[in-house]
Amino acid sequence: MRTAIKMALPYGMVRAVQMSRERRQLLAVLDQASGTLTRLAGQVDALEAERRRRDELARAASEADAAALAARLETEREAFGRNEIVVNGKRIHSRAEAPLIDFQIDGHDNAILIHPPTGPGTLHVATRPGTVGCRLEFGAANRIASNVFVTFFESGGKCARESIVSIGDGNWFNGNVHVLAGISPSTVVRIGSENLFADNIQIVGAVEHLTYNVASMARESIEHGVRIEDRVWVCKDVLIYNKSEIASDNVVAARAVTNKRFDESNTIIAGSPAKVTKRGIRWHLNTTDDYLSGVGPLEASRPSATT
């Protein structure tokens, strides 16, 4: 029937009907495309707005970070200015001048005198707020394999004042070693030369809390400091407390806890509380026959120029 109608109508009229239908279809497609483009444009605008927002946040964060960094550097310069920090004979005024040493400096009139250590580890030095007139001397050719922490701190309601930590030359720190300075004036933590320290060792010169006699009210806990002489091997997990004095050429066995004087040399000191458990002993780093040469316990272990 439709075919018969088309044949009866003039060609021009049929074509006009077809074009009208095609036009409606095209308009429908264009309307659909226009809606899609409108949605895409909205999404693009939203993405652009999000980008601008993130850029503004990043810029604000960058400005805040820059301001915080500037404030931190200014605080650092002020702290270094209040204290005398000397590395390798030269006074420094910021951490950036000695990047291999971790300084956390506060307080005032403290003196930190350091010869840079060797080895892959790090020396950490901290003077806490309120620390006044303290002194650290860190000698030459000390080797650090992991971390050595030297801290002048606040304890028992008091800050360290005029206390001293002195570390000699040629010591080997093979693990993490914590040295806590005394609190009271003239308290000295003194470590000699060519000592060997294992891991997880604490050397405490401070009296952290008070003990006293109930009857007389006299103080029992008084700071006397710590003294470790030369060529002492301090094994793993040792605690060396206030009042400890360890003579040269001794071995402090693993997990020992010392809090008194050991004036005798060539012994093994062990236990908690520590005591002399063996006499007539010396030690050497190597398990070879190096000890027969008569050199110091660390001497044969030093690499030669040809190795």
- In DSSP terms, 123 is beta-bridged to 101, 148
Q: Give the angle 159-219-243 at the CA atoms, nearest 5°.
A: 70
pLDDT < 70 positions in the chain: 1-17, 49, 156, 300-307
Q: Give the angle 125-161-153 at the CA atoms, nearest 5°.
A: 40
Report pLDDT for 131: 93
Residue type at position 46: A
Report pLDDT for 11: 58
- Give the up-direction half-sphere exposure of residue 99: CA atoms within 13 A in the CB hemisphere: 1
Report pLDDT for 58: 76
Report pLDDT for 22: 74
Chain centre to alpha carbon of residue 9: 96
Task: Residue 275: name the closest of 290, 291, 256, 293 by CA.
Answer: 256
In this predicted model, what pLDDT tens digit does every residue of 72-86 receive, in sequence order? 888 889 999 999 999
